[in-house]
Structure formats: structure tokens, C-alpha cells
């Protein structure tokens, strides 16, 4: 127990140190100011601009920014799709894997394009080393960077006055990859290799186990993928067991490192927002709401898993902590992590859009699984993904000042910008689109005969599994609840559509809001202006997020994890 408490404290301390340091660094990059590493990254950046013909000083309107983003994403998806379909004929295929079928190639291309990294396959048995490195890992870098570019554009729209431009997408993308993601990923990769994570180009090596059985030990560039997977809140994994596989995370230190990596950029971006707004309190208010929601989720999951399933105890099976057992609900968890650290990791994974888990969500207690499902239903804002978490929270902030403005009878304002009908229509689209596709496809899947055949656990748990799948895809998380055979034409197609909606159907309204706000003049604060840099506003943000989710998803949560808990089957 003491070790678990120490690890939680160390994680909080690391985040407390990295958030202002990384946040200040990213603010300098986004504002094109002098920053550490200019002598190293500057020449490389300028070379990229010359090779691609990009003029970083030439800024774009929100429409051009959005078109650039969509065009880049479309080309990325086509390249990744083609790479999977042709991988049997491409190099670096030591295990002679066949090409990926079309429906699965579509699902995977969309998944990695949208920073979801949902995997309807076992990585070590399906994707060649070339596809993993040149296809999936590349998308892990650029999809994370694309998410950050959108929130950077929104921050510029909020902080600029009478500006028709939001920056240059290509320049923002280049700076984020070169100056933020690559250096941090390289350092993390070196640490992972030093701790024993696999990193090679070997074919699967057959061995004989102590029981006399034959077993294949796959090789591959695992550590380098693991680093950017966590840092870019991508999720997925080189192996089907994900971050629970010892080749991906071989020690307690690497488990802590991976947990910090997936939280570091989302929290730091809130600090960056305060710096760019020239008002640290604004960033702290957003950070407080994110941190509060994250802590509540983690502090609920950890004891739920540590105490175990009450119905198992009633069946006279001990779940107590002993010298030989960590106690609690250990189904689907590793002894080296135990239920508390496993609960913390998976809560972090679902509070961000990472989806990388170190234990089986499907084996969690009914309420524990319900909490990690609710984490995603919040819209990935606690703290959410790289970029997507902050722009999701800023959309909630705009909604919050609008509601407050209605209460006092004044035009709502945020950072001196009036929030009017045009912005609120886009906010409503942003808030309603994801719940619509989640609930619609879930409803169809639990009544259609062909999709029902994919559910291995009928009843409340099966409903949770289906709801979790569409929630994970639509919120670009990528984790799975297992117990659901998702590699079918129906789920490959519908989950792919959910990923596209959850990514691009939200990014475009965000950029439109950024463009609208950027053109506006600042208005001076008055006695009727709601202060937005206060703890009270943080509480309002968190409360509105929870209320919106509660009103939207409570029926399906009640019929899924809550009913399962009350029924008490295990």
C-alpha cells in the first residue's frame, strides 16, 4: 500500500514540475519567440520549409487552415491504407505477414489518422515492422501534432483582436513535431530501452518453455513506438496486451514514466493557454477544472478496484491484502502493478485520449468500469488528448459563460470577446454530434442480429461493452472493453465513421469559432462581466461538463454498469 501511495505522489510531483516548464516552452514555440534548442531545431525547421515550399510567415484564415488540415489528413489516411494493403510486398517483413484485409485496413487507417489507435487486431500478428514504423508510428506523431495545431489556432482566436488569420497550419505542424514531440519521444525511448523494453528488427524467435511447450517471442521496434504512443496520447500498442506487456513496459519505473507521458502535454497546454492569454489565472482556471475531474475519476477507480467485488467476497473468496497477494480485484491485472496502480493507469488512459491500458477494462468491477467509461463520456477533457483536451475544455468554457450570461441578463464574454449566436450554434454542434453517433450506433448494435453475435457477454455487461466501443471510437480514445468481437464489417465501418466524426466534425467547428472570435474586438470588462480566472469558474466548468454528460448518458449508464452492479453477477 505504501508503495502505491508513493507512486501516486511521485506522479503528481512530476506533473507539477513539468506542467509550467513544458507549458512555457510551448508558448514560446507557438508565438515564434526565442526558445531553448533554437540552434538545433532552427536549421532543420528551415530546411523542411524549403523542401516543402512553405512560407511560415504567411498566415491563413480559418477556412484555409481547416482545408490544409483536412487535405493533409486525407493524404495521410490514403498512404496508411495503401501501406497495409501492400505490406506483404514491402520490406521489413521478417515474419512474412500477409496484407491486411480492406475493412480492417480502413478501420486502422482512420483509427491512427484520428489519434484514436483503436485496434481490431493483434499488432504482433498482423502488422509488419515496416507498417508499424513507417505507417503507424508516423501517424502517432502527426495526428498528435494536428490536434495541437487546432487548439493553438483557437488560442490565437481568443487572444488576438481584429485578426482574420490564425497562423500557418504547416508551420505549426512542423514546429510541434520537431520541437516538442520528437525530442521528448527520443528521451523516453532511451529510458525504456535502458529499462528493458524491446527495440530490434528481429523476426519471431521460437523457444521451448519450462513446460516443454513451443512459444514464439516476437521482435520489433517496440520502445520507440511506446514512447510516442503515450506522449501523443495515441494508445494502442505493438502487442495485443498493450502497456501490460512486459516488452512494452518492463518495470514499475516504466509504468510510472508512461503514465506521466500521457498526462504531460494535455496538462501543460492549459498552462500554455494562460501564457498566450497574458493572464496566468485563465490557464490555472482551466487547469484546475481538468485536474479536479481527473483526480475525482482516479480516486474513484483506485479504491473500487482495491476493495474488489463485494459479490466475490459474499461467495467466501478472500480479496484481502496478504504477503502473497496484493488483494482487491486482480482479474485481468498484473501482480507487479496491483489493482491500485492499474486503476490509476487506466483512469489516466481514459481521462486522456490515450487508450493505452495496463490491465483489462472488461475485468474491472461494474462501477470501476463505469467510471472509466464516464471519463471518456466527458468528452476527453480531463485533461483529454494532445490539443483536443484543451479545445474541448475551452468549448465548455464558452458554454459556461453563455449560461452565466443568461442568468445575469448580459451578453456573455470570454477573454474580452462577446459570445454571440454564431459561436453558440457551433458550440451546440460540437456538444451534440458525438453523443448522437454514440447512442445511435449503440442502439442499432444491440438490436441488429448480426452485431449482437459479436457480444460475448449478453445483458448489462454486454451493453456496456458496446457503449464503451462507440464511446472510445467517437472520443478518439482507442481503448477497448473486450468481450466484443469488433473485427467485423459492421463494427469496422461504424467505428471508423465514429472516429472521423469525433475528430474532424469537431475540429472544423472549433476552427470556425476561432476564426469568428479572432475577428472580434476586445471589450473592456464591466461590473456584469463574469470573472473567468477564478476557482469559482473552475468549479462552474467542471459542474457543467458533468451535468451535460449526466443528462446525455445517464440512461445508458443506468442500464449498463449500474444495473450490473446491482444485479451482482461476476
Q: Residue 397 — pLDDT band, cuts 50, 70, 90? A: very high
9-13, 301-305, 450-454, 557-561: least confidently modelled range: 450-454
Q: Which three cell numbers stand for residue 382?
A: 480531463
Domains in the chain: boundaries: 2-567
The angle subtended at Cα 392 by Cα 387 and Cα 397, nearest 5°, is 125
CA-based nearest residue to 380, from 344, 430, 429: 430
Q: Residue 546 — pLDDT band, cuts 50, 70, 90? A: very high
Asked whether the beta carbons of 113 and 77 are under 8 A apart, the reply is: yes
Q: Rounded to two decimals, what is the model's pTM? A: 0.94
How large is the angle between the packed helices 102-113 and 489-518, nearest 10 degrees? 30
For residue range 129-184, what is the model confidence (pLDDT) as tens digits?
Answer: 999 999 999 999 999 999 999 999 999 999 999 999 999 999 999 999 999 999 99
Q: What is the CA radius of gyration of the chain?
A: 23
Predicted local confidence at residue 319, as pLDDT: 73
Burial of residue 224 (CB within 10 Å: 0-12, 13-18, 19+) is: buried
Mean pLDDT of 482-488: 84
Burial of residue 570 (CB within 10 Å: 0-12, 13-18, 19+) is: middle
Mean pLDDT of 191-207: 93
DSSP conformation class of 455: B
Q: What is residue 412's three-state secondary structure?
A: coil
463485494: which residue's cell? Answer: 310
For residue range 8-52, what is the model confidence (pLDDT) as tens digits?
Answer: 999 999 999 999 999 999 999 999 999 999 999 999 999 999 999
Report the alpha-carbon distance of residue 391 to residue 367 in Å, rounded.
Answer: 29
Q: Which one is predicted more confidently, 523 or 13?
A: 13
- High-pLDDT (> 90) share of the chain, %: 74
Which residues neighbour 267 within 8 Å (Cβ) at sequence distance 6 or greater?
15, 18, 19, 287, 290, 291, 383
pLDDT above 90 (res 98): yes
477573454: which residue's cell? Answer: 415
Mean pLDDT of 321-331: 75
Q: What is the mean pLDDT of the chain?
A: 92
For residue range 202-213, what is the model confidence (pLDDT) as tens digits?
Answer: 999 888 888 888
How large is the angle between the packed helices 138-159 and 62-85, nearest 10 degrees? 170
Mean pLDDT of 274-302: 96
Report the alpha-carbon distance of residue 422 to residue 432 in Å, rounded.
Answer: 16
Q: Which three cell numbers stand for residue 237?
A: 500498442
pLDDT above 60 (res 569): no
Predicted local confidence at residue 331, as pLDDT: 85
Residue 75 burial (CB count, 10 A) = 10
Predicted local confidence at residue 384, as pLDDT: 94
54-58, 405-409, 455-459: least confidently modelled range: 405-409
Which whole-number Å values give the CA distances from 178 to 41, 107, 185, 285, 404, in the listed order? 7, 28, 11, 29, 41
189-203, 267-281, 377-391, 400-414: least confidently modelled range: 400-414
500521457: which residue's cell? Answer: 262
Predicted local confidence at residue 143, as pLDDT: 96
pLDDT above 70 (res 1): no
Predicted local confidence at residue 324, as pLDDT: 66
pLDDT above 60 (res 125): yes
Strand bridging mode 205-208 / 417-418: unpaired
Residue 96 burial (CB count, 10 A) = 8
Q: What is the 3-state secondary structure (H, E, C) of 148-174?
A: HHHHHHHHHHHHCCCCCCCCCHHHHHH
Q: What is residue 216's three-state secondary structure?
A: strand
| Phi, psi for 405 (deg, rounded to 5) | -65, -40
Q: Residue 570 — pLDDT band, cuts 50, 70, 90? A: very low
64-78, 183-197, 497-511, 520-534: least confidently modelled range: 520-534
Amino acid at each position: 500500500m505504501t508503495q502505491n501511495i508513493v507512486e501516486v505522489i511521485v506522479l503528481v510531483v512530476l506533473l507539477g514540475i513539468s506542467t509550467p516548464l513544458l507549458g512555457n516552452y510551448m508558448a514560446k514555440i507557438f508565438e515564434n519567440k526565442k526558445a531553448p534548442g533554437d540552434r538545433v531545431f532552427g536549421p532543420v525547421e528551415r530546411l523542411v520549409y524549403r523542401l516543402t515550399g512553405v512560407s511560415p510567415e504567411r498566415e491563413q484564415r480559418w477556412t484555409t487552415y481547416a482545408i490544409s488540415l483536412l487535405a493533409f489528413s486525407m493524404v495521410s489516411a490514403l498512404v496508411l491504407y495503401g501501406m497495409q494493403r501492400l505490406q506483404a510486398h514491402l520490406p521489413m517483413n521478417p515474419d512474412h505477414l500477409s496484407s491486411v484485409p480492406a475493412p480492417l485496413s480502413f478501420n486502422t487507417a482512420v483509427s491512427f489518422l484520428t489519434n484514436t489507435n483503436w485496434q481490431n487486431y493483434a499488432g504482433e500478428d498482423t502488422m509488419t515492422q515496416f507498417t508499424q514504423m513507417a505507417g503507424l508510428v508516423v501517424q502517432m506523431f502527426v495526428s498528435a501534432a494536428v490536434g495541437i495545431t487546432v487548439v493553438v489556432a483557437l488560442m490565437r482566436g481568443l487572444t488576438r483582436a481584429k485578426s482574420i488569420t490564425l497562423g500557418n497550419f504547416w508551420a505549426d505542424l512542423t514546429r510541434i513535431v520537431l520541437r516538442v514531440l520528437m525530442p521528448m519521444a527520443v528521451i523516453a525511448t532511451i529510458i525504456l530501452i535502458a529499462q528493458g523494453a524491446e527495440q530490434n528488427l528481429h523476426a519471431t524467435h521460437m523457444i521451448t518453455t519450462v513446460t516443454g511447450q513451443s512459444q514464439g517471442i516476437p521482435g520489433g521496434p517496440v520502445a520507440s513506438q511506446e514512447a510516442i504512443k503515450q506522449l501523443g496520447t495515441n494508445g494502442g500498442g505493438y502487442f495485443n496486451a498493450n502497456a501490460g506487456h512486459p516488452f512494452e513496459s518492463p518495470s514499475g519505473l516504466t509504468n510510472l514514466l508512461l503514465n506521466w507521458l500521457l498526462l504531460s502535454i494535455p496538462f501543460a497546454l492549459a498552462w500554455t493557454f494562460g501564457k498566450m492569454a497574458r493572464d496566468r489565472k485563465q490557464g490555472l482556471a482551466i487547469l484546475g477544472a481538468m485536474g479536479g475531474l481527473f483526480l475525482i475519476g482516479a480516486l474513484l477507480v483506485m479504491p473500487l478496484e482495491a476493495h474488489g467485488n463485494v459479490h466475490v467476497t459474499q461467495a467466501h473468496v478472500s480479496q484481502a491484502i496478504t504477503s502473497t497477494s496484493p488483494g482487491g480485484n486482480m482479474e485481468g491485472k498484473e501482480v507487479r502493478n496491483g489493482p491500485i496502480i492499474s486503476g490509476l493507469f487506466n483512469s489516466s488512459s481514459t481521462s486522456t485520449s490515450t487508450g493505452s491500458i495496463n490491465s483489462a477494462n472488461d475485468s474491472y468491477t461494474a462501477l470501476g468500469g463505469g467510471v472509466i467509461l464516464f471519463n471518456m463520456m466527458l468528452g476527453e477533457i480531463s485533461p483529454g488528448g494532445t490539443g483536443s483536451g484543451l479545445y474541448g475544455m475551452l468549448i465548455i468554457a464558452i458554454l459556461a459563460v453563455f449560461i452565466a450570461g443568461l442568468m445575469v441578463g448580459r451578453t456573455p464574454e470570454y477573454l474580452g470577446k462577446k459570445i454571440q449566436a454564431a459561436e453558440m450554434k457551433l458550440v451546440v454542434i460540437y456538444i451534440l454530434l458525438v453523443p448522437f453517433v454514440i447512442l445511435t450506433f449503440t442502439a442499432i448494435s444491440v438490436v441488429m442480429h448480426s452485431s449482437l453475435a459479436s457480444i460475448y457477454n449478453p445483458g448489462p455487461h454486454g451493453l456496456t461493452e458496446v457503449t464503451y466501443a462507440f464511446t472510445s471510437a467517437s472520443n478518439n480514445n482507442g481503448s477497448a472493453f473486450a468481450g466484443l468481437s469488433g473485427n467485423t464489417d459492421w463494427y469496422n465501418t461504424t467505428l471508423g465513421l465514429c472516429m472521423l466524426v469525433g475528430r474532424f466534425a469537431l475540429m472544423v467547428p472549433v476552427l470556425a469559432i476561432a476564426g469568428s472570435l479572432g475577428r472580434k474586438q476586445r471589450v473592456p470588462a464591466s461590473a456584469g462581466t463574469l470573472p473567468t480566472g477564478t476557482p469559482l469558474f473552475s468549479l462552474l466548468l467542471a459542474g457543467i461538463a458533468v451535468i451535460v454528460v449526466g443528462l446525455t448518458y445517464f440512461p445508458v449508464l443506468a442500464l449498463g454498469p449500474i444495473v450490473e452492479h446491482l444485479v451482482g453477477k461476476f
